[in-house]
Structure 1
Amino acid sequence: MTTTPRTTIATLTMNPTVDVAYDVDHIVPMHKIRTRREYCNPGGGGINVARVFVRLGGNARCIYLSGGPIGVALDGLIDLHQLVRTRVPIEGNTRIATTALETSSDKEYRFTPEGPNVREAEWRAALAWLESVECSHLVASGSLPHGVPTDFYAQVSRLMTARGVRMVLDTSGEALRAGLAGGGIHLVKPSRGELEAFAGRPLPTREAVVEAANAIVEAHQARMVAVTLGHEGAILVRREGVIDCPALEVEAKSTVGAGDSFLAAMVFALCNGESEEAAFRFGMAAGTAAVLHPGTDLARPADIARLLPQLATA
């Protein structure tokens, strides 16, 4: 995989986080629990995608909402990661997400607030930035905070496709439904659970997953649907056919950021002119690499390179 991308992407994160992670021996109710190995990272779907994309050698601009004293901390963390950023100021306070690894049980606990209330003028300011950002792909990833209309991603898609920018979407619930209803999505990446909610029914088999994803493609809502299945792998559905890739057997330390790592690597490969199948497998390697380490560290290029050959024949 080349490390010199032909294009620059932008990412949009409407509900970012400051991600705090640490280890504890035991989680006991009503007790003060001492933590170890605490560290903080900038988080939220689009910011995570940009972190991995840049690690791979790419160029990414982060567009995100930021407010209150936690927003100031988020800005500083993004600068520490040397990401190019466009901060859209809001009055509400940016949220803090917490991940705790209980070392006695090797179980991970995650706490994620809903986020701030966003005013119309604030989310419209994010749209205004998108009218001039230079990129080949826009990755819109993550939940929508309160106050942002459910069809916001559909508005973003119309704006970007009119400018010749390929729209990549990773969200859930009504934001996913409304975003796809607007059409024009180049790539959408739901998890199995998110696709089940979208389809309104359980999808217990791989065949059922393919059928639901193919309905999105046939309705011209998205050109490609990459469905991540956790420890069962992932499936890519396009008009040209289906690629079904089982998961590699690894010891998972954390699931935080696995989907974001997958998406970042797949888009990176597409930007470098790789085939859709090769890009999908590169994404699979990155998603697997992300679970090898606890906390919010995301995929590392060395791990991706080590895992990728194992997926070539999967």
Structure 2
Amino acid sequence: MNEIITITLNPALDKSTYVKHVQPEKKMRCKNPFYEPGGGGVNVSRAIKKLGGNSCAWLLAGGPSGEKLCELLQKEGVHFKTVKIKNWTRENLMVMEENSGNQFRFGMPGPEVAEEEWRQVLNWLEEMADEELPKYVVASGSLPPGVPDDFYLQVAEIANRRGFRLIVDTSGKALVKAAGEGVYLLKPNMQELPTLVGKEEVSALEQEQIAKQVVSEGKCQVLVVSLGPRGAMLVSKDGHVSYIVSPAVKQQSAVGAGDSMVAGMVLSLIRGCSLDEVVRYGVAAGTAATMTPGSELCKREDTEEIYKWLLEHK
């Protein structure tokens, strides 16, 4: 039995390269590209593996790019299960400009997915024997064309009916609709939080009150709001509120920080940690990810060192 399953309907084959200077209408000589598996839940599973845990990544994969993505996951030792789709898995591109240190990220929209393809993931959840059900399912990332906005809501309905805990990390209508069904944990950022109460924006002074409102309305049992370099805010259904402030580190790239944070949190939940410890370890993993270049995720040794610092300064 896999205690943690991640779901990624819009995974990506991430290609990274370096160039001295980005300029228009010029042929730019890039260095040899580096390929990595990508997409919300895929990255969560990869980060869990890096932190010493295990999960099973459920994903849609199609075409040569999908085959390459699965090959890379296999090399990393990440367990996965795929729905083979007709269209090709998307490819994203990241170009690092050496002269300035700037990153240029190009995200593709993803392939058109047929109903019988995305519905297979729901069927898997429905058909699992009770003894095979995971403790936690992480539904993370954007939804590709062809997948309805209420997909994560449908996963939430199954979770509430079958008894596993659902963690959702997405944005837009998919986030709002999933929250409407009620999930165990939501992890919006500061820009996504207002959408959960029908607002376009909220001030810094309003954030805590809005977070409490989200939880009191039954949209989740635990709300963790990512505050970027400032760490995270935790609000739980028993009224507990806490702030975890991340230490200042030398940041190389913010790519993968959110996925690393989710990985740290779900791994801590499996280990039976308190909610404060869960968020503290999540912040440590997210901060560790910012210390790595390009699209690399957190490193275990960095995460443990930051977590130790957070415990000493709580």
TM-score by length of 1: 0.94
Mind listing any 5+ residue stretches in structure 2 that lack a counterpart? none
The residue type equivalent to 1:177 in the other structure is V
Please list, as runs of the form range in 1=range in 2, the aligned pairs for 1:11-50 lying within 5 A after superposition.
11-36=6-31, 38-50=33-45
1:262 aligns with 2:275: no
CA distance in 2, matches of 1:126, 1:7: 16
Moved more, 36-45 or 270-279: 36-45
| Partner residue in 2 for 1:150 | 149
Please list, as runs of the form range in 1=range in 2, the aligned pairs for 1:285-296 lying within 5 A after superposition.
285-296=284-295
| Partner residue in 2 for 1:83 | 78
| Partner residue in 2 for 1:92 | 87
> Judging changes above 3 Å, is the alpha-carbon distance between structure 1 residues 284 and 28 closer, same or farther for their aligned structure 2 residues?
same
CA distance in 2, matches of 1:119, 1:54: 31
DSSP 3-state at the match of 1:193 = coil
| Partner residue in 1 for 2:168 | 169
Deviation at 1:152, TM superposition (A): 0.7
DSSP 3-state at the match of 2:33 = strand
DSSP 3-state at the match of 1:100 = strand
| Partner residue in 2 for 1:8 | 3
Match among 62, 71, 74 for residue 67 of structure 1: 62
Moved more, 190-199 or 274-283: 190-199
DSSP 3-state at the match of 1:128 = helix
1:284 aligns with 2:248: no
**1:172-203 deviation line (CA, Å, top 9, x unaligned):** 000001111111x1111111112234442323
CA distance in 2, matches of 1:244, 1:285: 13
CA distance in 1, matches of 2:96, 2:209: 37
**1:252-295 deviation line (CA, Å, top 9, x unaligned):** 11111100000100110111011010111000000000000111
Please list, as runs of the form range in 1=range in 2, the aligned pairs for 1:118-267 lying within 5 A after superposition.
118-131=113-126, 132=128, 134-183=133-182, 185-199=183-197, 200-205=199-204, 207-240=205-238, 241-267=240-266
Between the aligned residues of both structures, percent identity stands at: 38
The residue type equivalent to 1:219 in the other structure is E
DSSP 3-state at the match of 1:192 = coil
- Count how many residue pairs are aligned between Structure 1 and Structure 2: 307
CA distance in 1, matches of 2:230, 2:22: 29
**1:88-107 deviation line (CA, Å, top 9, x unaligned):** 11112111111122121111
Report the RMSD for the aligned CA atoms in angstroms: 1.5
Deviation at 1:303, TM superposition (A): 0.3
> Judging changes above 3 Å, is the alpha-carbon distance between structure 1 residues 224 and 79 closer, same or farther for their aligned structure 2 residues?
same
The 8 Å contact of residues 101 and 294 in structure 1, kept in 2 or not, is answered as no
CA distance in 1, matches of 2:28, 2:250: 26
Deviation at 1:160, TM superposition (A): 2.1
Deviation at 1:230, TM superposition (A): 1.1
CA distance in 2, matches of 1:122, 1:230: 35
Moved more, 194-203 or 68-77: 194-203
The residue type equivalent to 1:295 in the other structure is G
Deviation at 1:146, TM superposition (A): 1.0
The residue type equivalent to 2:17 in the other structure is Y
CA distance in 2, matches of 1:111, 1:266: 28
The residue type equivalent to 1:21 in the other structure is S
The 8 Å contact of residues 87 and 112 in structure 2, kept in 1 or not, is answered as yes
CA distance in 1, matches of 2:249, 2:257: 13
The residue type equivalent to 1:58 in the other structure is G
Moved more, 170-179 or 245-254: 245-254
Deviation at 1:38, TM superposition (A): 2.8
The 8 Å contact of residues 246 and 284 in structure 2, kept in 1 or not, is answered as no
1:275 aligns with 2:270: no
CA distance in 2, matches of 1:164, 1:187: 14
Deviation at 1:239, TM superposition (A): 2.6
| Partner residue in 2 for 1:3 | none
Where in structure 1 do 4 or more consecutive aligned residues deviate above 6 Å?
none
The 8 Å contact of residues 13 and 91 in structure 2, kept in 1 or not, is answered as yes
Deviation at 1:37, TM superposition (A): 5.8
**1:222-272 deviation line (CA, Å, top 9, x unaligned):** 001111111222111113311112231112111111000001001101110
The 8 Å contact of residues 10 and 137 in structure 1, kept in 2 or not, is answered as yes
